[in-house]
Structure 1
Amino acid sequence: MCGIAGLVSPSLPIDSLKATATAMAQAIEHRGPDAMGVWVEQEQKLAFSHRRLSIQDLSESGAQPMHSHSKRYTIAFNGEIYNFLEIKKPLIDAGFEFRGHSDTEVLLCAIEHWGLEQTIAKAKGMFAIALWDSQTKVLTLIRDRIGEKPLYYGVINGSFVFGSELKAIFAHTPAKALTLNKVAIASFLRHGYISAPNSVFVEVKKLSPGCRIDINLAKQSDWSIANLTPQPYWTVAQSANQPYLYTEQNQSEAISALDEKINKVINEQSIADVPLGAFLSGGIDSTVVSAVLQANTSTAIDTFTIGFEEKSFNEAEFAKEIAKHLGTKHHEHYVNQQDILELVNILPRVYDEPFADASQLPTILVNRFARSELTVCLSGDGGDELFAGYNRYVFTEAVLKKAAALPAVFKSILKALITSVAPGKWDKLYQALNSIAKRKGGAEFGNKLYKMVSLADAKSKAAAYEYLMSYWQQPEQVLKAFNGELAMQSPLSLEDDFINAAMAWDQQWYLPGDNLTKTDRASMAASLELRAPLLDIELIDFAWTVSPELKVRDGKSKWLLREVLYKYVPKELIERPKMGFSVPISQWIRTDLSAWVDELLDKEFIEKQGIFNYAPIQHALLEHRSGSYDHGKKLWTLLMFQAWFKTNIIDG
């Protein structure tokens, strides 16, 4: 894993160009602490810089930026091409002689032999690439299909800049000198992340997953960001629109095929010249990955779990039992509330763009813990989005079906009855009834009731899912002078096939914008390479050939993936309610983080800042602290923006 950066700056002297490229690389040293390389093309005033985390070919022959054998191409590459050995064989047959055994060199030789388009079509992996063609004078940026590796680019003061993180661009131009993007901020308030192609700044864009951008430096005259148009080479829709090959009629074939593909992918992704292990949370996805990796390894693999003292969201005991069954060398590290709270102040540096998925906190911890033992880890990311693992898929469809069957008058009465009582009071009532019945539960009951009412009230399935995926449903209430449109369409129609379309929406927006952003920044902050076998393009394509009834059955998610897992792990070690990787952020906002909250949501600070309306923020905070409503996620988005603003704009 690595970090890349670079710029084209016609007005800069060569020495200044090289110094700037060097500074951009140094800003992302954590992505590649092993080595740094800088290359300058003097005629076009183009510079590439690269930070190296050595994984494949630890020798100098794997160093970057790297030139092709003919010297026509120069590349700065962040990521891994997992099937590089498969690609390499026909290149050897064609007469290519390799200097080393890195996937970067294979990539360059493939581009020389087949061209960029065919090479990317053949390549399976995670990547962000900057490629210079000295013959055509074209600079190309390209990002992997699903968005595992990030890539920012922009036009600032006549220079074209790019980098793996905004930190690299800040080394060219400080954040406080850039223009905040109101549309991006509104998107962040709604979803808790900023989806591509937007970034938090007007002058900077994110290259969308599955896209490339080509810039002819010999012809480029207008360096306006509006004139740089990325083109897709792959879309979620083209994968999702495949016909079903696996249904209930041949479900045993589906189980065998998925098992075979997971084994193939994990074997490909296990190639490394450094120690490799796996995260094991105890959930289905990480257990599948760990189980298959162990089954294909002659010695005990290293598995890693973070445990929490708060039992309500601690899965470490389950992970330990699974590790014992698999025979892994298991590492667990228990953290307390204070360990997590101490991370709050570093979040704006780790995530150098506003980001508000609170599971970012334990994610940072587990990546740090794993890095203390090794350099590469496999994760279970992607299982939910490919095999219908989120409870919201089944829950939403069930609510919408029941709501459609109810007369409008009855729905209105039910809505009035439920919303006449605050969610916090519904929680207390439910907890009291459970106490009488000697059952546990009751947390979030009121919120679930309110959520059901809102879903039932939605004008369409698309509107219902957009609501479900939103924190501030109406960002214009809190964001000053914003009246823009924020609709994020699914590649499939939510009205026709809800569960499939919801998965497609998540693969297009939520997965790259939230989950993969979270894991990339957390792992790279620890200089750990994180690989997600379940997001291999073979598995993505395969998952879309599986009919929904093999993904959700009898109200249970991930049926097909579970069936594969039961080949490796007894059912009793797996079957339990989904917990997720969360922290009690709502509670902490009321208690341990209270002083920090008051500082960031201070009326004078907000009014001087001039971005938000204070009244709705104050209202949400008062309701939350009283316990009548849980606005934890809403407030966390604001707190993450304010912390980011203070760190990057005010303090710089």
Structure 2
Amino acid sequence: MCGIAGLIAPEPVRDIDGILANMGAVLHARGPNARGTWVQDERRLGFSHNRLAVVDLSAAGQQPMCSASGRYVITFNGEIYNHADIRRSLEQSAAAPAWRGHSDTEVLLAAIECWGVKKALELSVGMFAFGLWDKERDELHLARDRFGEKPLYYGWAGTTFVFGSELKALCAAPGFERTVDRDALALFMRYLVVPAPHSIFERAYKLEPGCVLTIAGSAPKAPPRAPLRPGERHETMSIKRWWSLSEQFETGYRNPFPSEEEALREVETRLVDAVALQSQADVPLGVFLSGGVDSSLIAALMQRQATRRVQSFTIGSEHSSYDESAHARAVAEHLGTDHYEMFVSDADASSLIPQLPMMFDEPFADSSQIPTHMVCRSARTHVTVALSGDAGDELFGGYNRYLWAPGLWRQASRLPYPLRQLAARAAGSVPISAWDRMLSGIDTRHVGYKVQKLASALKQARTPEDLYRNLISEWREPQIVLGAKGVLQAPEGHTATMLRCADMRARMMFADSIFYLPDDILCKVDRAAMAISLETRAPYLDHRVAAAAWRLPMDMRIRGGIGKWALRQILYRHVPRSLIERPKTGFSVPLGQWLRGPLREWAETLLDERRLRSEGYFDPAPIRKAWQAHLSGRRNMMQSLWAVLMFQSWKDVWLGETSLSHERTH
């Protein structure tokens, strides 16, 4: 895993070596083992690379790397897991160069020389983002993997086009303006993340998963008026999809497995192959283990194939209702892994919070970022690479909303919309404490909070898509809390894309795969891990595993009110059912309690009414109302408040006191 950056300017850049060095320096944590730069002779183009050596630790794996013929230069971040297979295919076709080492980057360059960029990408199984210069065609290509495991930002610093693994690399380029994009801020307040193709800054964007951005000749001197989407062009720059998630999803949905036996056999075969591929490394490797279905299956398959005890890692909490370490310990004991536990205290969380703005570069308010970084930190003391169970929920039907949202909608939609609003308003008016008492027999966390959120989601839903979007939203009308005159209604981007099929559950899974998975889950894991130079890998995101998952009939994903049915059948061949079967709780922290307790003073400072008003980003009234409601215990506003707090913390680090002077009036 690595950190990449680069630039292309309309004319020679005086201090291009120094600029590239600075852009690379801020990405040091992503690649602490080596740093390199490459500059074109005309000095208008250059790449930077920070290396975390995982495959081929020798100097032969150093980057930026030139192809054997000298035509291509690449700065590459990620892993091509099947590089050995691609290498053999090249050798069989007599297209292989005189190999210098055994790195996956060298193989990718040879594949591009032999077959071109698109076919080389289609043959690659892995996670990656890279910048590639084609000297012969005078073209710059930026590419990102199928699901968006590895990040890639691009934008403009003055008239210079810049790109990098993280937004901080762009900020290090002279002339980059840190001007907050109000539309992106509105999206953040609604979804707790800034979704692609937006970034928090106006002149910077994220390349979407499965896409290639190409600049032919000179780069445009200014950005387009709106983020460029696949199939669109801006002067010499264009973006195309090299892989379409929607096409793959629909193909699988329309071609289900003919039998359960064949389905389970294919899913397990694909998973075994993916775990085997992703268990290859020239450095120590382990696995995250929560004790749930997804991570337990990855750990089981990994241990079954290993020649020695696998190292597994879990996180615990001093709050018993949030501590699932005992479940992970039991699974680890059954599998025979070398198991490590780390317990997070309130003091640990408080000490980490000031680091979050630099870790995530732009506002990010999924509070599970805290335990995620903690478990990564624990793993990094023993290994350089860790496998995870990420994407099991999206692919195999694990989220609770897949279980009850469709039935709830069928019942609620029978009521006229005004009556539905009235019923939802009544349910939402009951205090959380009252719901907790009434539903005390339900074995789930934050039951009162979830009932109130559900009631609010139903109150404003006219269609099933409205209900889904409301369920994944926090501030559903962000223009109210932003309070800035003229704030535009932010475009929905990925969240407006829903699969065209009758099954609401399939539509939600697709929407989560295309939006929530890359912009929240994968972003969180990447930043939390790379901040301490840990590479993470997700076997469920091998696209062949995903293709098998999408062919599962819905009753093999959700059956009897339980999600991930197919995965459970495979897992029970390795782990006793009694160690796994329990309600899904998620990876969370007692954020609501923290805000009323150890974090209250910190939060009060950031939510001060005079401060909010003077800074000009928020209307203090709805925020102070939410804060008082949370402190009183009438409502659990932890996520809504965390969004404001994460923006405020980020702003203090990235904008400082110059923020108002940089802010453009819309």
1:464: which partner in 2?
Answer: 467
Aligned-partner Cα distance in 2 for 1:74–1:138: 11
1:35 aligns with 2:47: no
Number of aligned residues: 643
1:387 equivalent in alignment to 2:396:
yes
CA–CA distance in 2 between the matches of 1:306 and 1:182? 36
Q: Match of 2:24, SS? A: helix
Matched, 1:507 2:513: yes
Please say if residues 237 and 492 of structure 1, whose CA atoms lie closer than 8 Å, have aligned partners that are also in contact. no
* Root-mean-square deviation (Å): 2.0
Structure 1 position 414, deviation (Å): 3.4
- Contact 1:236–1:491 (8 Å) recurs in 2: no
- Kindly indicate whether residue 24 of structure 2 is the aligned counterpart of residue 25 of structure 1: yes
1:74 aligns with 2:73: yes
Deviation digits for residues 220-262 of structure 1 (CA, Å, limit 9, x no counterpart): 4644345244221112211111145875851121111111110
Matching residue of 2:230: none
8 Å Cα contact 2:184/2:490 also seen in 1:
no
2:647 aligned with 1:644: no
Contact 1:492 1:500 in 2 (8 A): no
TM-score (norm 2): 0.93
Q: Could you tell me whether the CA contact under 8 Å between 1:65 and 1:76 is conserved in 2?
A: yes
2:600 corresponds to which of 594, 599, 618: 594
SS at match of 1:530: strand
Distance 2:364 2:179 in 1: 18
Bigger mean CA deviation after superposition, 506-515 or 477-486: 477-486
The amino acid of 2:571's aligned partner reads: L
Structure 1 CA distance for aligned equivalents of residues 268 and 512 of structure 2: 24
Residue equivalent to 2:664: none
Partner of 2:60: 61
- Looking at structure 1, the residues matched to 387 and 399 of structure 2 have their Cα atoms a distance apart, in angstroms, of 21
What per-residue deviation string (whole Å, max 9, x for no partner) do you get for residues 579-620 of structure 1? 211001111111111111111111222112111111111111
Identity between Structure 1 and Structure 2 (%): 40
Structure 1 partner of 2:641: 635
In the alignment, does 2:545 pair up with 1:536? no
Question: Which residue is 1:473 aligned to?
Answer: 476
**Cα distance in 2 between the residues matched to 1:516 and 1:236:** 16
Query: CA offsets per residue over residues 168-223 of structure 1, 9 Å max, x none?
Result: 11211487x42110110000000000011000001101111111110012x54644
Equivalent in the alignment of 2:140: 139
Structure 2 partner of 1:350 = 359
Q: Does 1:425 align with 2:426?
A: no
Which AA in structure 1 matches 2:159?
A: G
Q: Is the 8 A contact 1:247 1:550 kept in 2?
A: no
Equivalence map 1:121-520=2 (5 Å) = 121-173=122-174, 177-217=177-217, 219-220=218-219, 222-226=221-225, 227=234, 228-244=237-253, 250-406=259-415, 411=420, 414-415=423-424, 417-431=426-440, 443-445=446-448, 447-449=450-452, 451-452=454-455, 454-455=457-458, 458-479=461-482, 480-481=484-485, 482-488=487-493, 489=495, 491-493=497-499, 496-520=502-526
User: Counterparts of 1:577-616 in structure 2 under 5 Å?
Assistant: 577-616=583-622
Work out the CA distance in 1 between the residues paired with 2:72 and 2:479: 47
Determine the C-alpha separation between the residues in 1 that align with 2:165 and 2:129: 8
- Aligned equivalents of 1:222, 1:27: Cα separation in 2: 25
Question: Judging changes above 3 Å, is the alpha-carbon distance between structure 1 residues 141 and 413 closer, same or farther for their aligned structure 2 residues?
Answer: closer
Q: Please list the CA deviations of residues 32-53 of structure 1 after superposition, one character each: whole Å capped at 9, or x if unmatched.
A: 0000010000226101000000
Cα separation, partners in 2 of 1:495 and 1:221, compared to 1, 3 Å = closer
- Which residue of 2 is the match for residue 617 of structure 1? 623
Return the match for 2:632 from 619, 626, 648: 626
Gaps of 5+ in 1: none
Provide the TM-score with structure 1 as the length reference. 0.95
Distance 1:416 1:344 in 2: 35
Matched residue type, 1:203: R
Q: Report the AA paired with residue 484 of structure 1.
A: Q
Structure 1 Cα separation of the partners of residues 258 and 13 of structure 2: 68
| One-letter amino acid of the structure 2 residue matched with residue 451 of structure 1 | L
Aligned residue in 1 for 2:45: 46
